[in-house]
Structures are given as structure tokens and as C-alpha cells.
Amino acid sequence: MAGEVDRIEAHQLAELLAGWSTASGPLYQRLAGALRKAVHADQLASGIRLPSERDLARAVALSRSTVVAAYDELRADGLVESRRGSGTTVAVLPQLRRPGADGVVPGGQGNAIMQRLVDSPSDVISLTTAEASAGPELAHALAEVARHDMAALTAEAGYHPRGMVALRTALAEDFTAQGVPTTADQVVVTTGATQAIALVAQTYLRKGSVVLVESPGWPGCLDVFRAAGATTLGVAMDEEGVRVDAFAAALPSKPSLVFLMPTHHNPTGTLMSASRRRRISELARAEGIPLVEDNSYNTDADSSTLPRPIAAYGGGEVVSIGSLAKTLWPGLRIGWLRAPEEVAERVARHKVIADMGTPLIDQAVALRLIPRLGEITAAHAAVLRARREHLGGLLKAHLPDWRWQPPAGGSALWIELPGVDARVFAQVALRYGVEVVPGASTDTAGIHDSFVRLPFTFPEATLTEVVARLTKAWAALGR
């Protein structure tokens, strides 16, 4: 990331250092340690100019003297050099590691989130993911698989790149019931929705491709497209989803793909209306642009009240993605996509190269659970409603300045922090043991810089502790 430019801005550096403040010791030593690690990992390349002490102090909500002390440590180690009028730069060093990809997406908005998932310190409550524990249904389904299915499963090689026929058939029947006639050959089972998105990116995108996405969007999805060499172009939303006028205005950019979350959009929780789905579908079809709809956040108790998938409105080349993670358990990495048969065939070829097929036992468990999905979703939705009300009550009592609209669904509140750059607040919150996703990670236009995403999927006791810590962080920020 850093090696492609000769200067790194303060907020970019703060993002790169991710959870630096969760280490032990004085703050200046924690900051110096994170900078040292970034230099040795070649994430801060030789010759790159670092932000001024004042700018970095503002970005990480520290005193200037703390940053000065951190830079002094690096100077003493010979890792950085300072010259009057030229600022502080990373010293020219011998090759510290073998060249090669380090897993960081150049210009990515979700790099810090992904790094924190890798680091995963136990004393920080991370709100980068929507936590959900497995219900008793999962254990029952696993027991049923062990009792009735294991002999047949283990009698075969287990390679099903498209997914088990029985599972694909069940998913096809579910799509057909939603008004999208589907055969098993149009379905590919994936290792979670994230892999489905990655396979779509491999299928459709090349370096220089343009992808139309909602603004805001989810950083992890945006970075999948960037890793494929594509550029993302954000399209403004309103209470019905992507705005038709903004979508039409973006079409002259000649996008290779449209990626939307119409059912309980992440992070806003917006539910795209039926009329909006139809109109967006018509525009994409008229321009011959493939459209991907990610409906993984469908946590509604009554699916009969939801608009049909975009694939049901007007045809065109539409890929529909779903997952069991949000209503069953994130650890059950079963996702899927439904597409025209020739597209599903192309996706399956990428899938077989990636992993030869999603684990068979997991698929068997999913097959046992899908007939009960409506019942399970209803119970899950009731729990989510109670937790959302609990979080909302705490925020109104302890952080009354924060503003949000009750979401139509999904798993999080999209909260505006009035007059505050949420990136700076995120740095302070991390020092109080809570990791939040700032709005700047969700778009590059600066429109959502004052927003944070707060999941309400955690147990009420955890939500209470989260608000207590965030209240302290808000006070420390001087608000």
C-alpha cells in the first residue's frame, strides 16, 4: 500500500496501524511499536514521508508530545530520518523481507478491520462483525447428520465444486418460491457469502473495471473488488435504497458490474422497495450490465412481507447471493449464489481452483436446517428486536447527542456522531476497549465521515458494557 506513494496521510497511517493502542505500555511506546512493525513488514517503504507530528496526533487523538516521543524512538533505532523542511521519512534500509504480496489491499478501506480479525485481542470488544452464537438447532442438525448421513457422506470422495445436488436442489426450490424460477444447475454452494462475492469478482472483473456500489457500502466487499483490480463508484441512497437518478447518472462510467445489498443493506439496514428494485433492474438490463444482489442480511421474521429478489424483476443477468451466517451461525460457512446457468458454470470453474468444494459435512448440516429456516429466522428476529431496543435505550440514556434512524432490518444501527470525525473517535474508542467501524471506511467521498456502525447482535450484557465504554470514550474526546 504505502510503497506506491511517496507520502502517507495521517488518517491512512492511523488505519494502517490498526489496533496499535491495545498493546501494553505507555502510549508513545505502543505507537512506536506499531510504526516499527509496519516498517519491518515493508508496509511503510523506504523513503516514504510520514505525517507531521501535529497531523498524526490529531488523527489518533493524542497529544503532539506523544507522537514526538514515538518518532524519537524510531529515529534512535535508525528507522526514520528527519530533515528540516522535509519532515520525517522512513530511512533507506536493507531488504527486510522477501518481496511478495502481504495480503493488504492497496487503497483498501477494510484493511484495518481484516487485520484486527487476524490479531483478535481478547480484551477488546470488536464491533467489526455482528456476533451471533449458535442456537440449539445447529447441534440438533449436527447430531442428525452424524446419526443418519455420515456413512453415505464418507463413502464418497467428497468433491462437489458446485455443491451437493440435494442442497442445490433445496436452494433452487426456495428461489422458485420467491418468484425466481431456478434449477439446481443455476446454484453454486460457496464457503460463505464472502467467497461468493470473491468468485463473482474473479468471473466478471479485470484490472481497470468499474463496479457500481451503494454509498455507504461494506468495506470488506469493496476491498474484494479492489483486490481484483477494479474501481468502485459509490451511488447515493435514500430510504428506498439506491437512488434511481444517481444510478442512471453513473451509467456513463461503463461499469462492468453492479453490486447491491437490497435486503437490509449493510451498514444502514435499508430495505429496497419493490418499485426501486424493478427500476434498477430495468436500467441495468437496458445497459447490459450484470447485477449482483447480496441478500445475506435477510433477518426478517416473515419473508412473505419482503419484496421479491431483484432477479424476479425484469430478467437480465442477475446473480443472487445468500448465506446462513446471519440467521444461524457465522461459523457455519455456507453461502450460495444463483445465476444464469452459463454464469454458474464459470463460477464453478473458479470455485474448483479455490478449494475443490465447500466442506461436505457443513453442507449436510445446512441441508438439515434449511427446511426449518423460516422458523429459525423468526426466533432469531425476535432476539434481534429485543437487543436492538436494549441498545437504543442505552444510547438515548447515555449518548443522547448521537442520531440514528431505526433500521428496517439487518444487524446494526447506523449512527451519526454530530460534528465529529468518526475515524478520530474510533481511535479513542479502541483505547477504551471497543472497536468500531467508522463511516470513512464505507465510502471514499467523505459523505459518511461522521458515522459509525454499531451491531446489536451481541447479548444485552455485552451491549451494556459497550455503551459504558463508548460513553467514556465520548467524554474523553471532549464532547
Distance CA 82, CA 182 (A): 64
Q: For a pLDDT cut of 90, what percent of the chain falls above it?
A: 73
Minimum mean pLDDT range among 118-127, 292-301, 427-436: 118-127
pLDDT of residue 109: 56
Residue with cell 445497459: 287
44 closest CA partner among 75, 84, 71, 4: 4
Same fold, 2-102 and 125-134+377-476: no
Question: What's the topology of domain 136-374?
Answer: Aspartate Aminotransferase; domain 2 (3.40.640)
Domain boundaries, the chain: 2-102, 125-134+377-476, 136-374
Q: Calculate ∠ Cα 462-17-466, nearest 5°.
A: 10
CATH, domain 125-134+377-476, list 3.90.78.10, 3.90.1150.10, 3.40.228.10, 3.30.420.480: 3.90.1150.10
pLDDT of residue 105: 60
Amino acid at 34: A
| More confidently predicted of 472 and 304 | 472
The mean pLDDT value of the chain amounts to 90
Q: Calculate ∠ Cα 465-471-473, nearest 5°.
A: 105
Model confidence at 385: pLDDT above 50: yes
pLDDT of residue 304: 66
Minimum mean pLDDT range among 81-95, 131-145, 206-220, 352-366: 81-95
Distance CA 336, CA 163 (A): 9
pLDDT of residue 95: 56
Report residue 314's pLDDT band, with 50, 70 and 90 as the boundaries.
Answer: confident
In our burial notation (b when 16+ CB lie closer than 10 A, e otherwise), range 25-41 reads eebbebbbbbbbebbee
Model confidence at 112: pLDDT above 60: no
pLDDT of residue 120: 54
Question: What's the topology of domain 2-102?
Answer: Arc Repressor Mutant, subunit A (1.10.10)
Model confidence at 473: pLDDT above 60: yes
In the predicted model, what is the mean pLDDT of residues 31-51?
90
Q: Cβ distance 398 to 471 under 8 Å? A: yes
